[in-house]
Amino acid sequence: MKLGIIGLGRIGTIHAENAKLLEDVELVAVSDIRIERAKEVAEKLKVKKVFASPEDLIRDPEVEAVMICSSTNTHAPLVLECARARKHVFCEKPLSLDLVEVDRMIEAMKEAGRILFVGFNRRFDRNFKKVKEAVEEGKIGTPHVLKITSRDPEPPPIEYVKVSGGIFLDMTIHDFDMARYIMGEEVEEVYASGSVLVDEEIGKAGDVDTAVVVLRFRSGALGVIDNSRKAVYGYDQRLEVFGTKGKITVDNIREDTTMLTDEQGDHGSKYLYFFLERYRESYLEELKTFVKNVAENEPPAVSGEDGRMALLLGYAAKKSLEEKRAVRLEEVIP
Amino acid sequence: MKLGIIGLGRIGTIHAENAKLLEDVELVAVSDIRIERAKEVAEKLKVKKVFASPEDLIRDPEVEAVMICSSTNTHAPLVLECARARKHVFCEKPLSLDLVEVDRMIEAMKEAGRILFVGFNRRFDRNFKKVKEAVEEGKIGTPHVLKITSRDPEPPPIEYVKVSGGIFLDMTIHDFDMARYIMGEEVEEVYASGSVLVDEEIGKAGDVDTAVVVLRFRSGALGVIDNSRKAVYGYDQRLEVFGTKGKITVDNIREDTTMLTDEQGDHGSKYLYFFLERYRESYLEELKTFVKNVAENEPPAVSGEDGRMALLLGYAAKKSLEEKRAVRLEEVIP
Amino acid sequence: MKLGIIGLGRIGTIHAENAKLLEDVELVAVSDIRIERAKEVAEKLKVKKVFASPEDLIRDPEVEAVMICSSTNTHAPLVLECARARKHVFCEKPLSLDLVEVDRMIEAMKEAGRILFVGFNRRFDRNFKKVKEAVEEGKIGTPHVLKITSRDPEPPPIEYVKVSGGIFLDMTIHDFDMARYIMGEEVEEVYASGSVLVDEEIGKAGDVDTAVVVLRFRSGALGVIDNSRKAVYGYDQRLEVFGTKGKITVDNIREDTTMLTDEQGDHGSKYLYFFLERYRESYLEELKTFVKNVAENEPPAVSGEDGRMALLLGYAAKKSLEEKRAVRLEEVIP
Amino acid sequence: MKLGIIGLGRIGTIHAENAKLLEDVELVAVSDIRIERAKEVAEKLKVKKVFASPEDLIRDPEVEAVMICSSTNTHAPLVLECARARKHVFCEKPLSLDLVEVDRMIEAMKEAGRILFVGFNRRFDRNFKKVKEAVEEGKIGTPHVLKITSRDPEPPPIEYVKVSGGIFLDMTIHDFDMARYIMGEEVEEVYASGSVLVDEEIGKAGDVDTAVVVLRFRSGALGVIDNSRKAVYGYDQRLEVFGTKGKITVDNIREDTTMLTDEQGDHGSKYLYFFLERYRESYLEELKTFVKNVAENEPPAVSGEDGRMALLLGYAAKKSLEEKRAVRLEEVIP
């Protein structure tokens, strides 16, 4: 697969490095509005084509598939351009903050007959995949309660917070997708509570930094997500599914398995710091899956509809937070 | 302290046995409406006085303090009788399902100048006490999120469910008390969601068997409780407090510390089955504390007001479940 | 069973308290060379007879069984006295430091037709029992390697060390018994290495404070014991059996299950301090078993022969340490 | 650094793949006696030169450093050839089974003024490095006891066993190096015990498959290594150092962090299967260190002398197994 990557920030660079590790992928073009950054990455990774304009990259005939890793507001026009150029698309999450745009992106890619794959990388983490399999195999019976803890080590810059769409669309959106993925069924009602406890600036920007979200699935199963923008001990990514036959959990991951025991007791090592450390492997798996989906002409492992549903859940959570009541999903469909 | 115990079911019997272990307590009288049960226990534990009537036990001049372990509907009249007889009272939870009665019980005991101690035994579990101390010592900084998981190994008989007041007043009430105890501050808003997933009969009785409750504390900190009436793997009692400096957790307790490793991986032993196994030690600590509170004329470690607040939280959860919205505590004060 | 206890040090007092908890045991007599100590315990536990002379206790017709908890050098004469008086005997470990005496004790009790039960309490720990059962049930297949770690929190007083018979007869003897118990077969060869690393005074007393012992069982299975007189983090009691189908381990036990996580990582609570905390429950189980063995006229769960074999292993270890070579068990039989 | 690799079995191939990941390394040549294998790897990894003869690779002027990953019996002649050609050498363990040869290799490389780096990859595992640092920083005080458990998931082919030099030179040699690395001091005495419990063919080949080795360090500290050729649950690599201030342990690593809990208790995932999975990362770290040592003209992180000492310990263990006694290291120096 001949691949082009647009946007060479942290995530775009990871994808570029991973692309170089795969034998059946050739990274032929990169693009970044900071052209020097694009040149630097291209030189290091020996990518032959560098574009200042993402549209030029998309239109390049050699490029078969495009990874869109630029800022969220560029996702919609670039996906539409990919549809016009009939290129497969891997788009980072969220597809867009605007549901109307998302619908248009999905529609356009469908008409183009090309794959739209959304970058919910956590689905490709080995631990969560194992849970998904265990649930599907019935190891915990019928799921009754899903619990997700997701805490970042520190808040993003306040300028980012202001354009992020808020905690539910920026951060919880990953957990919404995970909830649907693990449970294999849709949410019908959302309740959200939130507080400003980490940084007052976040509150001034109209957002919360600590949140609890309750999900009601169609089967009556319940879900709970708790988020914080700041866990001083590092990235906190845990999950539990409880059902009629038992429970299965995913715990955090430490830097190493050493345990020091002294007069105070046992001391285990620190957790992995953030998503780059915690989910490094998942990005490679994600890319492999995208490549496989394209090669074998399969439906994408994470579809535009998946991106759309996660966005709807974020909308419902925002509405619930404002109105202090449970919000049904149909209430937020325009 | 010369003690009398009313009601010799599971809990009353535990208290009776524990009373025999304490040097500064003399169990002088027992009472049970099943007089044969009372005689049997009295003989085994060498208790000299057996009463068919709980009022007679309360009025016996030798009895200084009374443990009320009979069914919930008897609590109010017996506490009022104790107040009249000026006896110290240890009353099992809940004080009553009726807030007006609870207020009357508190008032009467206050006027009698005697201690009213409510049997929230989990406060005396060594693990939760350790968490309480850690929070007070600031080890996790300012608390932001409290999480409590509380699942029973199997539902009570459906006849019990019908008179229990519902899951929030019967089961969650322990978690409500734990939440207030650990956080050291009051809840101002409650949201509850629930489903009937374990047993349809519970639904027919107008109750739910699986529930998630979100608490908002005055400081803005958030709490989450998840309950199930049936965890096939045994009693599930976990807690986590997350704050500005870290988190502290209490995990479940296994029957033993053995770990078998075979071709499938690691296998740890089962969890303790239910509250009798899990909290055995806490009942003894609880009784010691009651005895100490009486002896040293201290305020009770768990007061009538604590029992009242837990009841209010249960009321708010019920109202929230019905109205699908967050309910402020003042809405449920009559 | 009407019981008398001789020697009211730490262990004797535990046995006395436990005897009071058992319904089918009546503690009728106690004895201690410090008569005031005996009177104090008798008063607290409401024991009717107090003897200054242990022989008088043994000869008292009411006493059916005797627990010998006095110092090691008194064990032999007292057991022989019990044999003469035809009383069942529970004798603390070691039976004696002198193998000839041990043989005489075993012989005398056999002739008297009474039970001689040796106080290897660790066999009655729920964790080690679970391992024993797992091994017998074949859960780990055929055992190949046994590993025991046994470390005390601090060395005994140097005066005690001098009369203790050395680390192998005083401390490792428990591990020798555990090795035989778990493996269910006999040791045929012993190698021991040791150093003085904790306290030079121990070295001056002719003993070591840190030791590693290798056992070769008849089947060819190997065992390793490592001992230290001083683990600053508390009592360290771990065991592993490895076999053709897997391994089973017993880990240490913490004071509680809390885990604090901060910027440094995870912090678990301290281990239980010493044998009184770690093995409290086992002493009660041990006593129950002794009572049951007597009542049902069974062979004792821990026999005089078991005590003798542990002593032989200690002898072999001492010889090995001196001669820096593996010593076969038959080399140390007089 | 322009690198050539000799021998493209499992380990050689890993090194070749890792070399391609490093920016400051160019893998310019490969060699394997199976020339087709060499061509295959060269094509896949885009290596320009392929040699049938390892000597030709060594003499190629472009090659600056050579990794010797061919069978043990070829190590000595190839290292000597490298010395003549004045090339830096990374040699897989063991350097040779013959101490005289080892001395010659060390001497030749010293005279050539080039680095001889021995492939004890476990030193570069993040967990063991963390232990090494903790010990050096005094976190456990003065070390008293070192314990290493090292078990393979299954024995090598019997043909390999026959030429391996025996378990101590083939398998334990890694643990001997780890022991010296962690403790930072030399062993002065070795005792070894062993049995044939896994496969009788191993016994017929004159080897054992289950072993326990006791080390005495110069400080008096003691070490214990236990080995098995077959652990059905996967590769078992654990380590513990116990000292005056506490202990530090390295536990095994599971495939993932999921935990399933059902009516039987907790179930954790399988351990990583073998060294390729468990130590994958360490090989890359090892190679980086070799490259750095060469680039910065440093002494190698693992020297020829380290390889020699591990071999001596293996000799002593063999002698001890035969003579059933502790063997001092000087006894096995020719």
CA distance A81 to chain B (A): 44
Tokens of A137: 């195999």
Alpha-carbon gap, residue D18 to D4, rounded angstroms? 13
CA distance D290 to chain C (A): 31
pLDDT at C48: 95
Q: DSSP string spanning B200-239?
A: HHHHHTT--SEEEEEEEETTS-EEEEEEES--TT--EEEE
* CA B136 vs CA A265, A268, B130, B142, B217: distances in Å: 20, 23, 10, 9, 16
CA angle (D92 as vertex; D202, D292 as ends), nearest 5 = 155
Q: Which residues contact D197 (CB under 8 A, 6 or more apart)?
A: C142, C144, C220, C221, D209, D210, D228
* Pairing relationship of beta strands C210-217 and C187-195 according to DSSP bridges: antiparallel
Picking from B222, B236, B168, the residue whose alpha carbon sits closest to that of residue A242 is: B236
* Pairing relationship of beta strands B187-195 and B210-217 according to DSSP bridges: antiparallel
Picking from A128, A144, A100, A131, the residue whose alpha carbon sits closest to that of residue A285 is: A128
- Check CB contact of C303 with chain D, cutoff 8 Å: no
D42, containing H or E segment: helix D35-45
Residues C52-79 pLDDT 10s: 999 999 999 999 999 999 999 999 999 9
pLDDT at A236: 98
Picking from A2, A1, A4, A164, the residue whose alpha carbon sits closest to that of residue A68 is: A4
- Around B188, how many Cα atoms within 13 Å sit in the side-chain half-sphere? 7
Q: Please write down the HEC assignment for all residues of A244-303.
A: CCEEEEECCCECCCEEEEECCEEEECCECCCHHHHCHHHHHHHHHHHHHHHHCCCCCCCC
Q: Is the pLDDT of residue C258 over 90?
A: yes
- Check CB contact of B228 with chain A, cutoff 8 Å: yes
* Pairing relationship of beta strands B265-268 and C26-31 according to DSSP bridges: unpaired
Helix then strand then coil, in percent of chain D rounded to 5, is 45, 25, 30
Could you list the mean pLDDT of each consecutive 10-residue stretch along chain B, which spans 334 residues?
96 96 94 96 95 97 98 97 98 96 98 97 98 98 98 96 95 98 98 98 97 98 98 98 98 95 95 94 97 96 98 98 98 89
Give the residue-averaged pLDDT of C35-39.
Answer: 96
Alpha-carbon gap, residue B127 to B282, rounded angstroms? 10
User: Considering CB atoms only, which of C233, C263, C265 is closest to A262?
Assistant: C233
Nearest CA in chain C to B135: C260
Give the residue-averaged pLDDT of A76-87.
Answer: 98
Tokens of A125: 């983490």
Alpha-carbon gap, residue C165 to B101, rounded angstroms? 69
- Around C172, how many Cα atoms within 13 Å sit in the side-chain half-sphere? 35
Classify B57 in phi/psi space as left (phi over 0), alpha (psi -120 to 50) or beta. alpha
**What is the average pLDDT value for chain C, to the nearest integer?**
97
Task: pLDDT band for C334, please (50, 70, 90 cuts).
Answer: confident
Q: Which residues contact B99 (CB under 8 A, 6 or more apart)?
A: B308, B311, B312, B315, B333, B334
Task: pLDDT band for A334, please (50, 70, 90 cuts).
Answer: confident
pLDDT at D227: 98
Q: What are phi and psi of C192, to 5 degrees?
A: -135, 140
- Check CB contact of A131 with chain D, cutoff 8 Å: yes
Q: Which residues contact A192 (CB under 8 A, 6 or more apart)?
A: A168, A211, A212, A213, A214, A316, A317, A318, A320, A321
Question: For residue A267, which residues of chain C lie inside 8 Å, CB to CB?
Answer: 264-268
For the domain spanning C123-278+309-332, the CATH number is: 3.30.360.10
Alpha-carbon gap, residue C83 to C110, rounded angstroms? 8
- Check CB contact of A267 with chain C, cutoff 8 Å: yes
Q: What are phi and psi of D194, to 5 degrees?
A: -155, 160
Say if the Cβ atoms of A191 and B191 lie within 8 Å.
yes
Give the residue-averaged pLDDT of D265-274.
Answer: 95
Alpha-carbon gap, residue B33 to B50, rounded angstroms? 11
Q: Measure CA of the first residue to CA of the last residue in chain C; give whole Å.
A: 38
Alpha-carbon gap, residue D72 to D311, rounded angstroms? 13
Classify B138 in phi/psi space as left (phi over 0), alpha (psi -120 to 50) or beta. left
Check: CB of residue B284 under 8 Å from CB of residue B274.
no
Residues C185-209 pLDDT 10s: 999 999 999 999 999 999 999 999 9
Calculate the CA dihedral of residues D150, D151, D152, D156 and round it to 10 degrees. 90
Alpha-carbon gap, residue C114 to B232, rounded angstroms? 47
Q: Which residues contact B126 (CB under 8 A, 6 or more apart)?
A: B281, B282, B285, C255, C256
pLDDT at A333: 87
Q: Which residues contact C159 (CB under 8 A, 6 or more apart)?
A: none
Task: pLDDT band for C23, please (50, 70, 90 cuts).
Answer: confident
Question: For residue D270, which residues of chain B lie inside 8 Å, CB to CB?
Answer: 263-265
Q: Is B261 exposed, middle or buried (0-12, 13-18, 19+ CB in 10 A)?
A: buried
Say if the Cβ atoms of A233 and C262 lie within 8 Å.
yes
Tokens of D91: 């040699």
Alpha-carbon gap, residue A240 to B154, rounded angstroms? 20
Helix (H, G, I), strand (E, B) or coil at D226: strand
- Check CB contact of A70 with chain B, cutoff 8 Å: no
Give the residue-averaged pLDDT of A191-199.
Answer: 98
Check: CB of residue D323 under 8 Å from CB of residue D198.
no
pLDDT at D117: 98
Alpha-carbon gap, residue D172 to D193, rounded angstroms? 13
pLDDT at A292: 97
Give the residue-averaged pLDDT of D22-42.
Answer: 96
Residue A300, preceding bond cis, omega within 30 degrees? no
So where are chain B's domains? 2-114, 123-279+309-332
- Check CB contact of D261 with chain A, cutoff 8 Å: yes
| Maximum CA extent, chain A | 67
Residues A210-260 pLDDT 10s: 999 999 999 999 999 999 999 999 999 999 999 999 999 999 999 999 999
Percent of chain A with pLDDT over 90: 99
Helix then strand then coil, in percent of chain A rounded to 5, is 45, 25, 30
Picking from A316, A299, A320, the residue whose alpha carbon sits closest to that of residue A308 is: A316
Which CATH fold topology does D123-279+309-332 show?
Answer: Dihydrodipicolinate Reductase; domain 2 (3.30.360)
Residues C108-163 pLDDT 10s: 999 999 999 999 999 999 999 999 999 999 999 999 999 999 999 999 999 999 99
Strand segments, DSSP code E, in chain B are: 2-6, 26-31, 49-51, 65-68, 88-91, 116-118, 143-151, 187-195, 210-217, 222-228, 236-243, 246-250, 258-262, 265-268, 327-328
Residues A56-74 pLDDT 10s: 999 999 999 999 999 999 9
Check: CB of residue C94 under 8 Å from CB of residue C307.
yes
Instruction: Give the strand order in the sheet containing A116-118.
Output: A49-51, A26-31, A2-6, A65-68, A88-91, A116-118
Alpha-carbon gap, residue C333 to C312, rounded angstroms? 7
Helix (H, G, I), strand (E, B) or coil at D237: strand
Picking from A90, C2, C164, A255, the residue whose alpha carbon sits closest to that of residue D127 is: A255
Alpha-carbon gap, residue D118 to A90, rounded angstroms? 45
Task: pLDDT band for D333, please (50, 70, 90 cuts).
Answer: confident
pLDDT at D83: 98
Whether complex ipTM tops 0.90 = yes
Question: For residue A256, which residues of chain D lie inside 8 Å, CB to CB?
Answer: 126-127, 130, 250
**Chain A residues 235-254 with a CB less than 8 Å from chain B:** 236, 242, 244-247
User: Considering CB atoms only, which of C134, C252, C260 is closest to B246?
Assistant: C260
Tokens of C121: 């309490």
DSSP letter at A121 equals: G
User: Considering CB atoms only, which of D144, D226, D245 is closest to C228?
Assistant: D144
CA distance A242 to chain D (A): 9
C316, containing H or E segment: helix C304-323
Nearest CA in chain A to D17: A21
Say if the Cβ atoms of C242 and D151 lie within 8 Å.
yes
Alpha-carbon gap, residue B9 to A161, rounded angstroms? 57
Check: CB of residue C184 under 8 Å from CB of residue C133.
no
Q: What are phi and psi of A33, to 5 degrees?
A: -65, -25
CA distance A50 to chain D (A): 21
Give the residue-averaged pLDDT of A105-134.
Answer: 98
Polymer length of chain B: 334
Nearest CA in chain A to D243: A262
Which CATH fold topology does C2-114 show?
Answer: Rossmann fold (3.40.50)
How many beta-carbon contacts under 8 Å exist across C and D?
111
- Check CB contact of C255 with chain B, cutoff 8 Å: yes
Q: Is the pLDDT of residue C182 over 80?
A: yes
pLDDT at B333: 87
Q: Is the pLDDT of residue C95 over 80?
A: yes
Q: Which residues contact D36 (CB under 8 A, 6 or more apart)?
A: none
Task: pLDDT band for D334, please (50, 70, 90 cuts).
Answer: confident
Alpha-carbon gap, residue B308 to D147, rounded angstroms? 56
| Interface-testing mutation among C127, C130, C139, C145, with chain D (most D C-beta atoms within 10 A) | C145
